[in-house]
């Protein structure tokens, strides 16, 4: 249940490869930065101006695994998520970081045509404990075809804090 609406819709390109980690409970968390840019003609100088906005995006759960596996630096994606501001401390000073959370209830969709970004998905990051650590990197990829879209749902707040012993991004 929600009192209010908190919705973010972005289309942009990844500033770098996504980074996937796993929570103690086995759930995946994927971080990436997304660029959206505006350009306009300056009224005074007549020059074209451009401003790029960088967004910190965090995926949770199944969608985090897919994001980590199929997205690469430069990938263009559509996401639908919600704003969340975390408080953290450094040198005794409180700081705040605002992220776009994409979990159950959010959406991600790849917008690159036919397997761009060299067409290859990456080997999934092995989960701690639940998978043997000598897992071969060269294992055959079971997913040959791109999985460009994920829509999942719901509410349960992901157990994020317990994971966040270091500062993401």
Partner DNA sequence: TTTT
Using CB under 7 A as the binding rule, the residues of this chain from 115 to 154 that contact DNA are: 115, 145-146, 148
Burial classification of residue 33, based on how many CB atoms lie within 10 Å of its CB (0-12 exposed, 13-18 middle, 19 or more buried): middle
| Selection from 164, 25, 16 nearest residue 101 by Cα | 164
Verify binding: residue 84, its own copies, rule CB under 8 A: yes
When asked if residue 6 is in the footprint of DNA (CB under 7 A), the reply is: no
Among DNA, its own copies, none, the one that 6 touches (CB under a kind-dependent 5 to 8 A) is: its own copies
- Give which of its own copies, DNA, none residue 150 binds (C-beta under 5 to 8 Å, depending on kind): its own copies
Determine which residue in the list 14, 67, 101, 150 makes contact with DNA, applying CB under 7 A. Answer: 14
Binding mask 15-54 for DNA (x = CB under 7 A): xx----------------x-x-x--------------x-x
Among 17, 56, 115, 122, binds its own copies (CB under 8 A): 56
68 contacts DNA (rule: CB under 7 A): no
According to the binding rule CB under 8 A, does residue 75 interact with its own copies? no
Structure tokens at 29: 């968390």
Question: Taking a C-beta distance cutoff of 8 angstroms, is the pair 158, 27 a contact?
Answer: yes
Could you tell me which stretch among 9-17, 20-28, 126-134, 160-168 binds DNA (CB under 7 A)?
Answer: 9-17
- Opening angle at CA 70, ends 68 and 76, nearest 5: 105
Structure tokens at 95: 């700081």
Contact between 73 and DNA (CB under 7 A)?
yes
Closer to DNA by Cβ: residue 54 or 164: 54
d(CA 131, CA 152): 25
Q: Give yes or no for a contact between 10 and 100, defined as CB atoms under 8 angstroms apart.
A: yes
Segment contacting its own copies (CB under 8 A): 18-26, 118-126, 129-137, 138-146?
18-26
Residue with smaller CB distance to DNA, 3 or 41: 3
- Other Cβ atoms within 10 Å of 28 Cβ, number: 22
Query: In this structure, what DSSP letter does residue 162 have?
Result: G
Please state, as a whole number, how many other Cβ atoms lie within 10 Å of the Cβ of residue 167. Answer: 11
């Amino acid at each position: 249940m929600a009192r209010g609406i908190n919705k973010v819709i972005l289309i942009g390109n990844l500033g770098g490869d996504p980074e996937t980690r796993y929570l103690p409970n086995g759930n995946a968390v994927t971080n990436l930065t997304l660029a959206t840019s505006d350009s306009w003609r300056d009224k005074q100088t007549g020059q074209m101006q451009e401003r790029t906005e960088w967004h910190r995006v965090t995926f949770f759960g199944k969608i985090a695994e897919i994001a980590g596996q199929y997205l690469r630096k430069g990938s263009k994606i559509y996401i639908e998520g919600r704003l969340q501001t975390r408080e953290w401390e450094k040198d005794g000073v409180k700081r705040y970081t605002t992220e776009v959370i994409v979990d159950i209830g959010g959406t991600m969709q790849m917008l690159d045509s036919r397997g761009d970004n060299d067409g290859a998905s990456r080997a999934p990051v092995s989960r701690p404990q639940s998978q043997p650590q000598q897992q071969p990197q060269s294992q055959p990829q079971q997913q040959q075809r791109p999985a460009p879209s994920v829509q999942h749902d719901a509410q349960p707040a992901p157990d994020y804090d317990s994971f966040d012993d270091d500062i993401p991004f």
